[in-house]
Amino acid sequence: MGDNDRLLQLLQSGGHNVNDRNPWAGGTALHWAARHDRVSTMALLVDHGADLSVRDSDNNTPLHDAAWGNNHAAVNWLLQRPEVDATATNKAGKTAADVADRRGHTQLGAMIRARVAAGCCKGIINVFNYIDFVNKSNKRHGAQEDTTNIRNTFTTLNYDVKIHENFTKQQTHDKFKELQSDQTLTSLIVIILSHGNDRFSFMASDEQILDLDELRRMFTDSSCPNLRGKPKVFLANFCRGARIELVPDTVKLEPPHNTVTIHAATEGIKALRNVKKGSVFIMSLCKILKDHPKWELRQIFNELYRQMKEEGGTTPFKETFAPMEDFYF
3-class SS at 199? coil
DSSP for 114-142, please give it: HHIIIII-S-EEEEEE----SSGGG--TT
Distances from the Cα of 306 to the Cα of 177, 284, 287, angstroms: 36, 9, 12
Position 189 scores a pLDDT of 94
Q: Given a cut of 70, is residue 246 above it in pLDDT?
A: no
Q: What is the pLDDT of residue 123?
A: 72
pLDDT band of 118, cuts 50, 70, 90: low
Judge if the upstream peptide bond of residue 255 is cis by omega within 30 degrees of 0: no
**Radius of gyration (C-alpha) of the chain in whole angstroms:** 23
Whether the predicted pLDDT of 247 surpasses 60: no
Q: What CA–CA distance (Å, rounded) separates 7 from 44?
A: 9
pLDDT in tens, 75-96: 878 887 778 889 999 999 999 9
Per-residue model confidence (pLDDT) at position 102: 94
The rounded distance, in Å, linking the Cα atoms of 272 and 280 is 6
Q: What is the pLDDT of residue 312?
A: 87
Domains, the chain, with CATH or none: 4-116 (1.25.40.20), 122-321 (3.40.50.1460)
- Condensed to tens digits (0 to 9), the pLDDT of residues 142-161 reads 999 999 999 989 887 878 88
Q: What is the DSSP letter of 162?
A: E
The Cα–Cα gap between 274 and 270 comes to 13
Handedness of CA 171, 260, 183, 92 (dihedral sign): positive
249-287: string of b/e by CB count within 10 Å (b at 16+)? eeeeeeebbbbbbbbbbeeeeebbbeeeebbbbbbbbbb
pLDDT at 120 over 70: no
Decide: helix, strand or coil at residue 237.
strand
Q: Could you report the per-residue pLDDT of 19-56, keeping only the tens digit for each?
A: 888 888 889 999 999 999 888 888 888 888 899 989 99
Residue-wise pLDDT for 156-205, tens only, equals: 787 888 999 999 999 999 999 999 998 777 689 999 999 987 788 999 99
Residue 234 has pLDDT above 50, yes or no: yes
280 touches 274 (CB < 8 A):
yes
Q: Is pLDDT at 251 greater than 60 in this prediction?
A: no
| Confidence tier at 243 by pLDDT (50, 70, 90) | very low
Q: Which of 15-19, 189-193, 221-225 has the lowest mean pLDDT?
A: 15-19
**Predicted pLDDT at 57:** 92
